[in-house]
Copies of this chain bind each other. A is one copy, B any other.
Amino acid sequence: MARAATTSDAFNAVAEPRRREILNFIALQERPVGEIVDLLGMEQPSVSKHLRVLLQVGLVNVRRDGRRMFYRTDAEAIRPIHEWTETFARYWRHQLSRVKERAELRIEASKDIGPDSIPRRKDDFDGNKN
Contact = CB atoms under 8 A, between A and B. Distances in A.
A92 B77 CA distance: 9
Interface stretch (A7-15, A36-44, A100-108, A112-120): A7-15
B4 A3 contact: no
Given A81-B81, A125-B61, A4 B16 contact: yes
Nearest to A89: B82
A27 interface: yes
Contacts of A30: 129-130
Contacts of A92: 75-76, 78-79
Given A4-B16, A61-B126, A75-B89, 7 more contacts: A4-B15, A15-B15, A30-B130, A61-B125, A75-B88, A76-B95, A78-B85
20 contacts: A3-B3, A3-B16, A4-B15, A11-B20, A15-B15, A20-B84, A27-B88, A27-B91, A30-B130, A61-B129, A63-B126, A74-B125, A75-B89, A75-B91, A76-B95, A78-B92, A79-B85, A81-B81, A81-B85, A82-B86
